[in-house]
């Protein structure tokens, strides 16, 4: 029986789960990151995920995880041990990434940023510089030169910005964060004004930061977009060379393949 690896991208809002046989395609699922749930609850949901994927726990050979939520890390670790009989290895604590970390205090860099930077580098091995832009709880721009992680820029996230705005605005309407126009227009409704403000505003921020960052990066530059909002941004800008909604899961899968775990 061909065995598969299990991957976890544990973020502040969601936990993405990936399943892939060595050298095979990646199947992904998304569950909420809820630190109030028990390991048993999460473990039972994991069994449902495996059932949907048509796999038994015995078909799994290992579990790799990237996490920025310590409480969820413990839940995932305990759930995998009890329900799957697997020890979860966390990146970079248990399994270092083959990237030189040039952060002044390397331990301060979130595992998600390092894994995303590593995955982006592997997607564009011939580029002198790579920038991974992740639209998550925060919007991050992570820069790689050669095989070295240079650092990056952290900006507000789309949904967190919207939540902050809603918390101080009693009549804020629900918006889709989708636009039909290719350029911003003066909104004639609050919903249109908000949609265009968020979509084109974050697009302009993305374009501006990439342009400014690239001034210090002479040579071929490739930009990878990821996160739930990347598709909306890509619809109104051409600043991305690739879109990878599951970039971090892909990074964990590539590390699994490369490290021979």
Q: Are residues 85 and 109 in the same domain?
A: no
Q: Are residues 180 and 85 in the same domain?
A: no
Set 112, 134, 142, 246: catalytic member: 112
Burial bucket for residue 132 (CB in 10 Å: 0-12, 13-18, 19+): buried
Q: Are residues 201 and 132 in the same domain?
A: yes
Q: Are residues 142 and 42 in the same domain?
A: no
Query: For residue 217, how many C-alpha atoms fall within 13 Å in the half-sphere facing its CB?
Result: 25
Q: Is the pLDDT of residue 23 over 90?
A: no
- Is 112 catalytic? The answer is yes
Report yes or no on 258 lying in a domain: no
* Cis geometry, peptide bond prior to residue 92 (ω within 30 degrees of 0): yes
Write the CA distances from 31 to 4, 13, 96, integer angstroms: 20, 9, 26
70-88 mean pLDDT: 97
Q: Are residues 134 and 83 in the same domain?
A: no
The CA-to-CA distance between both ends of the chain, in Å, stands at 18
Q: Are residues 206 and 232 in the same domain?
A: yes
Report yes or no on 257 lying in a domain: no
What pLDDT is recorded for position 168?
Answer: 64
Which residue range forms the structural domain that includes residue 131?
A: 100-250
Q: 247-259 and 111-123 are packed helices; what angle lies between their axes, rounded to 10 degrees? A: 80
Q: Are residues 123 and 233 in the same domain?
A: yes
Asked if 46 and 24 count as a contact pair (C-beta separation under 8 A), the reply is no
* Model pTM score: 0.91
Q: Indicate the SS3 state at residue 180.
A: coil
Among 35-44, 55-64, 161-170, 184-193, name the one with the lowest average pLDDT.
161-170
Q: Is the pLDDT of residue 167 over 80?
A: no
Burial bucket for residue 167 (CB in 10 Å: 0-12, 13-18, 19+): exposed
CATH number of the domain to which 242 belongs: 3.30.420.40
What pLDDT is recorded for position 191?
Answer: 82
Report the domain count for the chain: 2
The last residue of one of the domains, among 72, 90, 108, is 90
H helical segments located in the chain? 39-53, 70-79, 111-123, 158-167, 190-214, 230-234, 247-259
Among 184-193, 216-225, 242-251, name the one with the lowest average pLDDT.
184-193
The last residue of one of the domains, among 90, 112, 144, is 90
Q: Are residues 116 and 236 in the same domain?
A: yes
Q: What is the pLDDT of residues 101-123, one digit of tens each?
A: 999 999 999 999 999 999 999 99
Average pLDDT, the chain: 92
Q: pLDDT over 90 for what percent of the chain?
A: 76
Q: For 97, which DSSP code?
A: -
Report yes or no on 75 lying in a domain: yes
What pLDDT is recorded for position 1?
Answer: 58
The last residue of one of the domains, among 57, 90, 123, is 90
Q: Are residues 234 and 138 in the same domain?
A: yes
What pLDDT is recorded for position 161?
Answer: 85
Residues 194 and 67: their CA atoms lie apart, in Å, by 32
Q: Is the pLDDT of residue 170 over 80?
A: no
Beta strand 60-67 pairing with 4-10: parallel
Q: Are residues 35 and 155 in the same domain?
A: no
Among 18-32, 133-147, 181-195, 227-241, name the one with the lowest average pLDDT.
181-195
Q: Are residues 126 and 226 in the same domain?
A: yes
Report yes or no on 261 lying in a domain: no
Residues 112 and 65: their CA atoms lie apart, in Å, by 10
What pLDDT is recorded for position 241?
Answer: 97
């Amino acid at each position: 029986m061909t065995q598969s690896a299990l991957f976890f991208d544990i973020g502040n809002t969601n936990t993405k789960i990936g399943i892939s046989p060595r050298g095979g395609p990646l199947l992904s699922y998304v569950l909420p990151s809820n630190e109030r749930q028990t390991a048993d609850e999460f473990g039972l949901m994991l069994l449902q995920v495996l059932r949907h994927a048509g796999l038994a726990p015995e078909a799994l050979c290992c579990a790799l995880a990237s996490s920025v939520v310590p409480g969820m890390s413990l839940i995932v670790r305990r759930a995998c041990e009890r329900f799957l009989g697997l020890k979860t290895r966390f990146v970079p604590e248990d399994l270092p990434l083959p990237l030189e970390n040039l952060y002044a205090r390397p331990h301060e860099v979130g595992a998600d940023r390092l894994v995303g930077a590593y995955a982006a580098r592997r997607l564009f091995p011939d580029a002198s510089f790579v920038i991974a832009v992740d639209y998550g709880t925060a919007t991050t721009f992570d820069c790689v030169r050669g095989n070295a992680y240079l650092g990056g820029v952290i900006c507000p996230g789309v949904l967190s910005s919207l939540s902050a705005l809603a918390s101080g605005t009693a009549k804020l309407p629900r918006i889709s964060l989708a636009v039909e126009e290719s350029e911003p227009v003066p909104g004639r409704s609050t919903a249109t004004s908000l949609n265009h403000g968020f979509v084109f505003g974050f697009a302009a921020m993305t374009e501006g930061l990439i342009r400014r960052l690239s001034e210090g990066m002479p040579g071929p530059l490739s930009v990878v977009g990821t996160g739930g909002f990347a598709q909306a941004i890509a619809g109104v800008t051409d600043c991305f060379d690739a879109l990878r909604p599951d970039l971090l899961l892909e990074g964990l899968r590539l590390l699994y393949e490369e490290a021979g775990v």
